[in-house]
Amino acid sequence: MRILIADDHGVVRQGLRFLIEKQPDMEVVGEAEDGLVAARLAKELLPDIVIMDVSMPNLNGIEATRLILHEAPDARIIALSMYFNRNLIIEMLKAGALGYVLKSYLFDELVRAIRAVAANERYLSPRVTAVLVEDYINQLPASDKSTPCGLADRERQILQLLSEGQSTKQIALRLNISPKTADANRRQIMNKLGIFNVAELTKYAIREGLTSVEF
């Protein structure tokens, strides 16, 4: 199995590579430090499995998963996260991930998760399953915020970059759009969300799983 690792922490990537390459039928074909690089490498390398950190700078794991599966629909995604936040779990699964493994149980569960999703089965850490079961028992409605407050894909990406402290000019350069367009999108995001300062936008982005305080 050809595996791509996407995590913004080099030590985590190194540990994952060591664990994976102990398996005779698995090889790591690439590493990515953020979601944008992961999407590019997935398109170039066409891995069987992508190990995807949920919280990364520039493009988070949820958006990167959507992009990868659009470009390489045969890829199978396993999400990694420090957290068992209900919204993050549901949004990652909605994006197309077949697995969700908590980093605290990583070395116990990752190989099992890889083999499960390679067989086109789902694999969820037991604590993740417990969150979803509790959600079902309490009859809480599943989140329908795959596009928070009606934000388009580009608007979600701009929201993430804004919350990570990037200026309108930096965002325009990164996304290859004009500063005028980036500024117009920023104003449109604020109007849609009813939030008119960057601090509150950042809180909203963290709450919705679009970015993280980890980076």
Q: Which tokens sit at 120?
A: 């086109």
Q: Please state, in angstroms and rounded to a whole number, the distance separating the CA atoms of residues 41 and 28.
A: 12
Does one domain contain both 22 and 101?
yes
The CATH number for 201's domain is 1.10.10.10
Q: Can you give the pLDDT at residue 211? A: 80
Which class for 25: exposed (0-12), middle (13-18), buried (19 or more C-beta within 10 A)?
exposed
Does one domain contain both 179 and 118?
no
Q: Please state, in angstroms and rounded to a whole number, the distance separating the CA atoms of residues 43 and 41.
A: 5
**pLDDT tens digits for range 126-160:** 888 877 777 666 654 444 444 556 788 889 899 99
Q: Can you give the pLDDT at residue 64? A: 96
Q: Which tokens sit at 61?
A: 């794991």
E-assigned strands of 75-186?
Answer: 76-81, 99-102, 123-124
- Assess if residue 142 is contained within a domain: no
Q: Mean pLDDT score of the chain, rounded to an integer? A: 88
Does one domain contain both 121 and 177?
no
**pLDDT tens digits for range 44-79:** 999 999 999 999 998 999 999 999 999 899 999 999
pLDDT cut 70: percent of the chain above it: 91
Q: 99 forms bridges with which residues in the sheet?
A: 78, 123
Does one domain contain both 47 and 120?
yes
Domain count, the chain: 2
- Assess if residue 112 is contained within a domain: yes
- Assess if residue 88 is contained within a domain: yes
Q: Tell me if the pTM is above 0.85.
A: no
Q: Please state, in angstroms and rounded to a whole number, the distance separating the CA atoms of residues 112 and 80.
A: 14
Q: 80 forms bridges with which residues in the sheet?
A: 53, 101
Q: Which domain holds residue 163?
A: 148-207
